[in-house]
Structure formats: structure tokens, C-alpha cells
Amino acid sequence: MFAKFLQTVYLGIKSLLVQKLRAGLAALGIFIGTSTVIWLVAMGEGVSYRAQQQILELGAKNVIVRTKQPNEGSEEDANSRVKTYGLLRADYRRIVENIPNIRRAIPMRELRYELRLDDRTVDTKLVGCTEDYLTLNRLEIARGRWLSSRDRGKKVIVLASDTAKRLFPYENPIGRAIWVGSEFYTVIGQTKDRTASAAIGGSLDSREYNLDAYISIKTLRQRVGDMVMKRVGGGQGFNFVGEDVELSQITVEVNLIEQVDETAQIIETLLKKYHQEEDYAVVVPRELLRQAERTRTMFNVLLVIIAGISLLVGGIGIMNIMLATVTERTREIGVRRALGAARSDIIGQFLAETVVLTASGGLAGVLFGLSVGPIFRLTKLAITAISPDALPPIVHSLEPRIALWSVLLSLGISLGVGVLFGVYPARKAAYLDPIEALRHE
Amino acid sequence: MDNFAFRVQDLHRTYYMKGETVHALRGVSFDVFSGEYIAIMGPSGSGKSTLLNVLGCLDRPTQGRYLLAGQDVAQIDDYQLSRIRGRRIGFVFQSYNLLQQLNVVENIKVPLQYQGLIGKDATKRCSELAELVGLGSRLFHRPTELSGGQQQRVAIARSLVNDPYFVLADEATGNLDSKTTEEVLDLFQTLNEAGKTIVMITHEDEVAARAKRVIRLRDGEVESDVINNP
Ligand SMILES: Nc1ncnc2c1ncn2[C@@H]1O[C@H](COP(=O)(O)OP(=O)(O)OP(=O)(O)O)[C@@H](O)[C@H]1O
Ligand SMILES: [Mg+2]
């Protein structure tokens, strides 16, 4: 039985080799179909894996409450130069006092600010934070030390890696003094490079950490204040607009991951009572994760549909070839029938040929698909070598991840296509009248 | 008597096409004993090929009986007909009909495949048959590398591989020159002397003369059925 099967497959291969180019071209369609599925799925998985990592950076047990600019025009003071909005220190207190299950809540205020040293300036994001901020954002100290409770209200500053590099290209910044606005601050530490985390609070950019500067939130409040003025417009008259924001973000960490959603809702209700406007957003990283998961599923479904279509096209190509083959080999079919082949034997023969054709295309496609990692890396290297800036950063950080299901699926589909599109030509061959077939030229 | 190769009794084959009916066979009867060598002759359109198709179990008669080994095979289904073709009948065609992608041994083996015989024994048997028809030195040649006469020998070897009740040859020498025709006929004669039953359709008197018995058809009926005197 098995020997007979092997024999059929062997003879199928032999017949296919009679028309190598044609068989090759027919299998090419399947090859492209399967390798495309694996490649695209691997890329998609790579992207979504990265997105998930970024979201996880935000902390699965966290609820993040962020200040956001309210929609314009609703306020009567639209023409006022200073806009007051956002989270209040009072909100922070309310959250800490009223919300159960909280492990910790960390307030933070960040604003664009220029740091200066001699003739060097750097446009940083000045972050006023508490001591917890380091661990919360998984920052690490490269040298010096992080802010401690004794630094509250003091004029000490921790620089992020890029900030430090720009102000002190050659020297060790620890212990040096830099200008923060109109006052001197002492640099006490420097953080390590850290990759960006996911975008939150409706902003499209992911959060970068490398151009930060950290001071105690108390210092920020006392020395810099809540209000920031910006110069806008050109010409003779300067025009200033300002914003008055107490807190940029409150990160709330709950005890158990199951409490995240509920806590987020309570916070939302609580804040709604005290804010007339939507000048804050409650973000749940876990929810982001779920969204990312949904996006990924949708993307994969889309891919599978595309793959299905491409394999369908490949299958039609195969069927076309097999129909031509049946016509060409009508005589052979007649001879085989005369020599004792039953209809089922003829069906088996042609089905075996089709399946061998699609399976070899499919297997080759899988092998090529599995090599997506090395090939992708090599291509990246080659392009970077030719022109260093040709690739956007997202491509650089992308690592394709092969999904087992995509391999199995594409292989399965290619075999299925072989059977599906082989049946009709095979039946056609089997139901030829042997006498007519023998007479065929 | 049990040593009939086959018997046909009152065979009719009628073709219906576009309202027109063609009576290709109208009541053909004759018995063939094992070991006979029969030539079937007749003018064009007399029904020779139609008869051969029925005898070869490629076609079913419209009416009448066809007894193979005592079994009436006139009205059995396609699958069983295929089995009988594969096990009981050897075919030799005018245009050889070897499979181009297979070599000599593989070509001879084809009928065995459909009986599930694909072991070493089968290969050995096929080589022996190739040797028997004088192609021992061409076992792995493709049909395109052989002459017409050699190809027909392969076809004859193939027709013998399943040890059939009889060999059906349709104008087996039609494509050959007189010298190779002689060689092939010699081969048939040798086979017949070894006990094989042979039924051969032919147009040529010289070919028919080698047979032991000649059946002539005319308009779908047996016109004459005579034993050749050597
Ligand atoms: N498939 C068919 N459909 C309709 N009529 C057919 C068919 N096959 C044969 N016939 C008719 O049956 C009759 C006998 O044909 P057959 O082929 O048996 O003759 P033949 O003796 O083999 O002739 P030849 O010597 O030319 O081969 C002819 O009149 C032919 O037209
Ligand atoms: Mg004829």
C-alpha cells in the first residue's frame, strides 16, 4: 500500500520532470504564495511584538492619567494669553486618599526647557518627579546617583544620556553646575540610554527618554513654577502665550493586575467631578495591549485573506497547467487505461502530480520563508552600507518573528490547493473514453 | 470443454449519433480456443476495430454475450473491465503506444503496477521479457532511442507481462517495413508455439497467412471463418 503510494509519487515526479520549466513556473506561484505569507506574518509579528514590548514598558499594573490640552474655543477666555488646564495637585491628593488598592501614585510635571552651559544649549524635557520615577520607568543610572528624598527642593539635576552628551561632550558632568533658566543647578547623576516606550494620551510619538533632565518635583514647583511662557509670532512686537499646568501625569500603580480596569474607571469618575473640561486622559496600558492584540489579529486575518487569494491564483495556474497536461497526455491516459488502469488509478496519478507540484512549491516557499531573518538583516546591512540614512528608524529596530502557525498554514494551504485544483483535471482525465483517448494524436 | 480462450455469441454494437444509428457489429459469434492464432480481416468499416474494442474490454457490446474464462463480461462495470484488461488481456497497438518518459523495463512494467506488483520480482520479470523479445541490451533505453521494430517488441513484451488469456494486436505490423514485419511475426509465431493465444487484426494477406485461422468480417458480420492450411 505504502509502496504503491511511493511509486505513484515517484512516477508523478518523473512525469513532471519531462516538462521542467513548465512545472517550475507552475510551482513558482505556490512558492511565492507561501513565502509571502510567512514573510508578511513574520514582519507583522515583529512590529506587534515591538509595540507590545513598548506597552509593557508602561507597566501592565499601571493606570496613567495624563494632562491633555482641552479642545479649543469652548472657553470664554479663549483670547486670554495664559491657558490654565490639566491635572491638579489636588487631583493627586484625591486619588491617593480615595482610591483603594493603590500601591503607589507618582505625580510628574514635564515641560520643554532650555539648559545651558557656557555657549552650549540643549532643548530638553525638564521632568519634575519623585524618587520613584526611576524604577517606575525602568531607568538606570550610568554614573553619579539618582534623586533622593533629601534632594526635594534642592537645586540638583540628573541628566539623561543625550542631554549629558550635548552639554558635556568630553567631560564627566557629575558635580558640574549648569544653567536651568536663570539659576545654577548641580549635576548629580546621569541615566543610561533607554529605548522609547509606547505613545500614550493620544500623542502619536512614543515617549523618548534620552533628552530628559530630572529634578525634584518640589524644586520644579518652587523654582520654575507651573506656568511656562512661549514667544510666538515674529516681527517687532513680541507675543507671549503661556500655559499653566500643575501636573503633567499621575502614574497610579495598583496591587493586582485584575484591579487595573476598575481602578481606571474609579479615577475617571473621580476626576470628572472636578474637571469641567476634558483636560486629562486616563490610559490603561493593559487596554492598549488588548488594542494592540486586536490590531494584530486583524492584520493577521487580512494577511491570511491576501495569502489565500495569492494561493488561489497559484492554484488556478496549477489547474491550468494540469488541464493542458491532461490534454497533451490523452494518448498516455488511453494506453494506461488499456493496460489495466482503473479510473481511480488515473485520478491518483494526476492528483499525485498536482500535489507533488504544489507541495514542492510550498516546501521551497517555506524554506525561503524561514530564512526571512537572515535575509532581512543582510538586506538592511547592504542598504545601510550604500546609503546610511535610506532606512527609517522603525525598519532598523524591526526584527521579523516567524510564526509557527503561518508556516503550518501556508504549507497546509498549498497542499490543499494541490488537492482542490488537482481534482478537476484528474477527474477529467479519468473519465475520458479509453477508445477515444487511444485514438488521440 | 474448458479450454476456450474466449467465446463471443451474437455480438451487436450499435452507435447512435445525431439521430443516425450505425450498426458496426450485427451478430458476431465465434469461439477461440487456448493456443489459437487468429487473424481478423475485412474491408475498411467492416467492424474490425469495434470488435477489437469489445474483445479488449474497452467497450461493451450493445447486445450479446462475451465469455472470458466462462464469465460473461459483456455488461460489467468500468472498474471490473479495467481489472480484466490488466490481468487477462495483452494489447499490442499499431503505433506501439509506449510511454515516452519511461525506459524499456519501466514500460513493460506498467500493467503490473495496476495490479500492485511493484517489487524486485516484477523488475526481474520485465527484464527477462525484454530479453525474450531480443532487447536484453536495451533495458534502460527510452522509446525515442529505439527503432520502430524494437519499440513494437517492447510493446509485445509489455502485452505478455501479465500472462494474459490472449494477446490482442491491432494492425501490429502496420507501421513497420517488410523486414521488421517478418521479425515481429516471427516473434508472434514463437509465442504462439509456446502456447500463447493471439488475435490479430490486419489488412495484409501476408500477415494473415502466418495465422492458423482467418476470420473475415463484412458489414459487421462474419463473412468467413477458415483454418489456414500450412
Ligand atoms: N465511435 C463511433 N461512433 C459512431 N460510429 C462509429 C464509431 N466507431 C466506429 N463507427 C462506425 O462503425 C463502423 C465500423 O467501424 P470500425 O472502426 O470498426 O471499422 P474497421 O473495420 O476497423 O475499419 P478500418 O479498417 O478502416 O479501421 C464504421 O461504419 C464506423 O463509421
Ligand atoms: Mg480499424
C-alpha cell at A372: 526571512
Task: Determine whether the shortest distance from the Cβ of B43 to ligand 1 is under 6 A.
Answer: no
CA distance A83 to B4: 114
Given the C-alpha cell 488556478, which residue does it identify? A316
CA distance A233 to B64: 109
Task: Determine whether the shortest distance from the Cβ of B137 to ligand 1 is under 6 A.
Answer: no
Domain harbouring B63, CATH code: 3.40.50.300
Question: What is the structure's pLDDT at A206?
Answer: 64
pLDDT tens readout for residues A164-203: 988 998 889 999 999 888 888 999 999 988 776 665 544 4
pLDDT tens readout for residues A97-123: 888 888 888 899 988 888 888 888 888
A-chain CB neighbours of B102 within 8 Å are 14
Residue A100 DSSP symbol: T
CA distance A155 to A391: 42
Residue B118 has its nearest CB partner, among A7, A14, A438, at: A7
Question: What is the structure's pLDDT at B1?
Answer: 45
Task: Determine whether the shortest distance from the Cβ of B47 to ligand 1 is under 6 A.
Answer: yes
pLDDT averaged per 10 residues, chain B (length 230): 82 91 93 93 92 92 89 88 92 91 92 84 90 90 92 92 91 86 90 92 89 93 86
Residue A138: band (very low, low, confident or very high) from pLDDT cuts 50, 70, 90? confident
Q: What average pLDDT does the segment A118-135 reach?
A: 88
- Whether A274 shows a pLDDT value over 90: the answer reads no
- Whether A235 shows a pLDDT value over 60: the answer reads no
Find the residue in B nearest to A342 (Cα).
B82
Residue A87 DSSP symbol: B
- Whether A8 shows a pLDDT value over 50: the answer reads yes
CB neighbours of A337 closer than 8 A, spacing ≥ 6?
A: A346, A432, A434, A437, B58, B82, B85
> Looking at the CA of B12, which ligand is closest?
1
Q: What average pLDDT does the segment A46-63 reach?
A: 79
pLDDT greater at residue A283 or residue A81: A283
Give chain B as a DSSP string. Answer: ---EEEEEEEEEEEEEETTEEEEEEEEEEEEEETT-EEEEE--TTSSHHHHHHHHTTSS--SEEEEEETTEE-TT--HHHHHHHHHHHEEEE-TT----TTS-HHHHHHHHHHTTT--SHHHHHHHHHHHHHTT-GGGTT--GGGS-HHHHHHHHHHHHHTT--SEEEEESTTTTS-HHHHHHHHHHHHHHHHTT-EEEEE-S-HHHHHTSSEEEEEETTEEEEEEEPP-
Q: Which amino acid is at A167?
A: L
Q: Which amino acid is at B22?
A: V
Task: Determine whether the shortest distance from the Cβ of B17 to ligand 1 is under 6 A.
Answer: yes
Question: What is the structure's pLDDT at A74?
Answer: 47
Q: Please calculate the CA angle A226-A231-A235 and round it to the nearest 5 degrees.
A: 165
Give the number of domains in chain B.
Answer: 1
Interface test with B, best of A7, A10, A19, A339 (most B CBs within 10 A): A339
B-chain CB neighbours of A4 within 8 Å are 116, 118
pLDDT greater at residue A368 or residue A86: A368
Q: Which of A105, A61, A114 minimizes the C-alpha distance to A260? A: A61
Question: What is the structure's pLDDT at A203?
Answer: 46
CA distance B4 to A143: 107
Question: What is the structure's pLDDT at A232?
Answer: 62
C-beta of residue B65 within 8 angstroms of C-beta of residue B34: no
pLDDT greater at residue B221 or residue A386: B221
Note down the domain range covering B221. 4-227
Asked if B58 and A331 come within 8 Å (Cβ–Cβ), the reply is no
- Whether A227 shows a pLDDT value over 80: the answer reads no
What is the Å distance from ligand 2's center to B44 Cα? 7
Q: Which amino acid is at B57?
A: C
Question: What is the structure's pLDDT at A12?
Answer: 83
C-alpha cell at B32: 477461440
Asked if A341 and B86 come within 8 Å (Cβ–Cβ), the reply is yes
Question: What is the structure's pLDDT at A103?
Answer: 86
Question: What is the structure's pLDDT at A199?
Answer: 59
Question: Does A13 reach chain B within 8 Å, measured CB to CB?
Answer: no
pLDDT tens readout for residues A303-325: 888 878 888 888 888 888 889 98
In A306-369, DSSP assigns E strands to none
Interface pTM, i.e. ipTM: 0.93
The answer to pTM > 0.80 is no
A-chain CB neighbours of B82 within 8 Å are 337, 340-343, 345
Give A352-410 as a DSSP string. Answer: HHHHHHHHHHHHHHHHHHHTHHHHHHHHHHHHHHH-TTSS-HHHHH------HHHHHHH
Q: Backbone phi, then psi, for A65, in 5-degree steps?
A: -110, 120
CA distance B146 to B136: 13
Asked if B101 and A18 come within 8 Å (Cβ–Cβ), the reply is yes
Taking each helix axis from N to C end, the angle separating A260-274 and A285-328, rounded to the nearest 10 degrees, works out to 120
C-alpha cell at A288: 492598549
CA distance A77 to A60: 39
CA distance A281 to A64: 8
